[in-house]
Amino acid sequence: MTAGAGRLPADGVRAMFDRIAPVYDAMNRLMTAGLDRRWRRITVEAAVRPGDRVLDGCCGTGDLAVAALRAGSGEVVGIDFSERMLERARRKSGDVKWVRGDLLTLPFEDASFDAATVGFGVRNLDDLELGLSELRRVLRPGGRLAILEITRPRGVLAPFYRLWFDVLIPAAGKVLPGGSAYTYLPRSVRRFPGPDDLAGLVRRAGFERVVYRLLAGGIVALHVGVAR
């Protein structure tokens, strides 16, 4: 799934995340009413076991990687291509290994991790299928993958969702320094595969026992799979 109409090129996405790094955590709390912390704990519980070597891809400011560390992981590596995001992640933990790099070309050997997580990151990949393939490559057979991502709810929450993500969040972002980049968020969600389609892509990347769970009335989806 390469870049197409309405999608920012990779350099544009990197520059955007550099700009919003100072407000990223505040916007996450605002957009989710603070529920993002709970969603991250659920993601870690679904994939991480004590003593695991864990990769957190598109780690941003590091909340999910830190949650994995607190769950008893043996080692946690967080990777992101935005240096400004990593600067904030380093302030949260000196025990996580923070790496600047691209999830599409992971700088790790095959089968070198027991678990991998990605929180609100795969939606921004220039090539989603390549990113999933890279995650499979660095996981050992039997390793677990958990992907937490915004999705499009159906039913009674759909009108509220459109108002929140298409109007209120971009408006709030414009008030904060660098936050105008949040006008990109609704576009990125609209073009991203729905939960069933994403599950199919995860299976084709080399995972089995792929399931997903909808959270917050279907606004967020958690996909979990096991590397074949």
Inside any domain, residue 2: no
* pLDDT tens, position by position, 38-81: 999 999 999 999 999 999 999 999 999 999 999 999 999 999 99
Inside any domain, residue 1: no
CB atoms within 10 A of CB 24: 22
Q: Please, what is the Cα angle at 36 between 46 and 140, to 5 degrees?
A: 30
78/59 Cα distance (integer angstroms) = 5
77/74 Cα distance (integer angstroms) = 10
Average pLDDT score over the chain: 89
CA nearest to 122, candidates 109, 133, 113, 107: 133
Q: What stretch of H or E contains 139?
A: strand 139-150
* pLDDT tens, position by position, 17-38: 898 898 889 888 877 888 999 9
Inside any domain, residue 84: yes
157, two tokens: 């929450």
Inside any domain, residue 5: no
CATH of the domain at 114: 3.40.50.150
The two counts, helices (H) then strands (E), for the chain are 10, 7
Inside any domain, residue 75: yes
Inside any domain, residue 4: no
Inside any domain, residue 164: yes
Q: How many domains does the chain have?
A: 1
